[in-house]
Amino acid sequence: MPRAATALTDLARYGFADLRASRDLLDQLIERQPSVAGFLPALSQSADPDRALIRLSRLVERSPEAVGRLLAAATAPSPTHTDERPGDRLMLVLGASEGLAEFLLRRPEALDVLRRKVWTVPHQDDYERDLLAAVQGLTGDDARMALRVTYRECLVALAAFDLGLYDPVAGLDVVAAALADLAGAALEAALDVARREVAFDADEIAATRLSIIAMGKTGARELNYLSDVDVIFVADAREGLDPARAVEIATRLAVHMTRTLSDLGPEEPLWEVDANLRPEGKNGALVRTLSSHLAYYERWAKPWEFQALLKARPIAGDHELGQEYVEKLSPLVWSVASTENFVESVQKMRERVTAHIPADQVDRQLKLGPGVFATSSSPSSSCSSSTGRATPTSGSGRRSALSGPSSARATWAERRRRSSIATTASSASWSTGSNCRGSAART
């Protein structure tokens, strides 16, 4: 059989679709980087071998030395004696995510995070150490660059862990929780930057308490790779500072935080910080005091707004203030079910959401369409509100801060320990305690 036909047959066996184009590109790559030939099996295990090969070609063209070092790196000893090499992890990432491939193309030095096999999924505390160290003393574009690059380095390491799992279903909860923890660390680092950027007296800034409350999938620690991050901002003043002044300062802090994470800059934005679940939505104040939040929920909040609070938990900023928010709102969440026509109002809200989906998208709307996530989660949440007990969600099933009266009384540290990432899949044991740059990782 002719050599070209054999090559095409091999590529077909490895899962390539565009055989001739992939063969030509692969030949060029091997001529430039001979070690690529040993990674065909890894390419075949990626989600899209053709795209992984194209992205690898661009990466080799951009930074042949960095890629060559990674592909030549030896397998580190591991608890499971795996034969997985750093280059194998690179192929999996390149085949799965255009966004991460583009990041590695922009920042080839980030390839170094793939040298270590991640056996322990970092917790928010670990991520915070990395991100706070990256932005220490920085403001403006320098801070945005450092935070976003370090965040994406952590994301590359987490994605490689995710893609390399023997049983990805068993690891789903672990990865979703880690993504939420990484988002919380980014919010904490952005707040650190904001405190240096806002034009207020340093003593007034120190006297301003600001807590960031995670909502939605972030609050439930069920985040996915493409989610925005839903939050609510709560402010208060320490002794000696007028509460109105504290709200003014906290509002500027919140705006600067959002810009650090979401505005255009030398490194691409991370994700949208969505504060639209706050009282009065887009028309309401971005930041309120705790007493203002309480007044709104006691007098004007609609049933669906209490449902949204079921997943609320403090994630960054002043943790004590966040805990107080949880404790004071919890009784209101569980009492709303006794109001007249509670279930009917929830059902009507669900119908209104469905009615606003364009007709040509109804069958493809995975989040809001009939019979999918929102259809099942809305009754589940209303059931939780009615019974005052936690109902496992469609994701991780972990309780949020408001998923039951007893958990509302728990301290921040206790909740963090209860929700720490610990599960087992394949023969590897995962727990908290390592960061994305590997300083605490077992290799």
Asked if 219 and 230 touch (Cβ cutoff 8 Å), the reply is: yes
Asked if 208 and 260 touch (Cβ cutoff 8 Å), the reply is: no
With respect to residue 443, please indicate whether it lies within any of the assigned structural domains.
Answer: no
Q: Which residues contact 298 (CB under 8 A, 6 or more apart)?
A: 332
With respect to residue 230, please indicate whether it lies within any of the assigned structural domains.
Answer: yes
112 CB neighbour count, 10 Å cutoff: 17
With respect to residue 437, please indicate whether it lies within any of the assigned structural domains.
Answer: no
- Residues 97 and 149 grouped into a single domain: no
- Residues 162 and 293 grouped into a single domain: yes
Of the residues 71, 87, 117, the one at which a domain ends:
117
With respect to residue 280, please indicate whether it lies within any of the assigned structural domains.
Answer: yes
Of the residues 117, 133, 161, the one at which a domain ends:
117
- Residues 126 and 37 grouped into a single domain: no
- Residues 211 and 312 grouped into a single domain: yes
Query: Nearest-CA neighbor of 267 among 115, 104, 401?
Result: 104
- Residues 290 and 306 grouped into a single domain: yes
Of the residues 87, 117, 147, the one at which a domain ends:
117
Name residue 409's amino acid: R
Asked which of 194-208, 235-249, 349-363, 420-434 is least confident by mean pLDDT, the reply is 420-434
Q: Which residues contact 187 (CB under 8 A, 6 or more apart)?
A: 212, 229, 231, 257, 261, 273, 315, 316, 317
- Residues 231 and 197 grouped into a single domain: yes
- Residues 204 and 71 grouped into a single domain: no
Task: Give residue 119's pLDDT.
Answer: 84
With respect to residue 435, please indicate whether it lies within any of the assigned structural domains.
Answer: no
For residue 120, pLDDT over 60 is answered with yes
For residue 222, pLDDT over 50 is answered with yes
- The total domain count for the chain is 2
- Please compute the mean of the pLDDT values over residues 62-72 and round it to a whole number: 95
Q: Which two tokens stand for residue 183?
A: 């988002």
Write down the pTM of the prediction.
Answer: 0.82
Query: Nearest-CA neighbor of 85 among 109, 114, 64?
Result: 114
- Residues 317 and 418 grouped into a single domain: yes
Helix, strand or coil, per DSSP, at residue 220: coil
Name residue 344's amino acid: E
Asked if 106 and 150 touch (Cβ cutoff 8 Å), the reply is: no
CATH number, domain of 276, equals 3.30.460.10
- Residues 106 and 127 grouped into a single domain: no
Q: pLDDT, tens digit, for every residue of 256-314?
A: 999 999 999 889 999 999 999 999 999 999 999 999 999 999 999 888 888 889 899 99
Average pLDDT, the chain: 82
Share of the chain above pLDDT 70, in %: 74
Query: Nearest-CA neighbor of 333 among 287, 362, 302, 371?
Result: 302
Helix, strand or coil, per DSSP, at residue 214: strand
Domain of 142, in residue numbers: 119-430
- Residues 102 and 190 grouped into a single domain: no
Provide the pLDDT confidence category of residue 84 given band limits of 50, 70 and 90.
confident
Distance of CA 373 to the CA centre of its chain: 19
Output DSSP code: residue 132. H
- Residues 136 and 149 grouped into a single domain: yes
Provide the pLDDT confidence category of residue 411 given band limits of 50, 70 and 90.
very low
With respect to residue 182, please indicate whether it lies within any of the assigned structural domains.
Answer: yes
Longest Cα separation, the chain: 86
Q: pLDDT, tens digit, for every residue of 122-167?
A: 999 999 999 999 999 999 999 999 999 999 999 999 999 999 998 8
Task: Give residue 7's pLDDT.
Answer: 76
Look-up of token digits 């193309």: 105
With respect to residue 143, please indicate whether it lies within any of the assigned structural domains.
Answer: yes
Q: Which two tokens stand for residue 152?
A: 């994406």
With respect to residue 440, please indicate whether it lies within any of the assigned structural domains.
Answer: no
Provide the pLDDT confidence category of residue 354 given band limits of 50, 70 and 90.
confident
Q: Which two tokens stand for residue 52?
A: 């992984």
- Please compute the mean of the pLDDT values over residues 38-50 and round it to a whole number: 93
- Residues 137 and 258 grouped into a single domain: yes
Task: Give residue 76's pLDDT.
Answer: 60
Share of the chain above pLDDT 90, in %: 63
Helix, strand or coil, per DSSP, at residue 273: strand
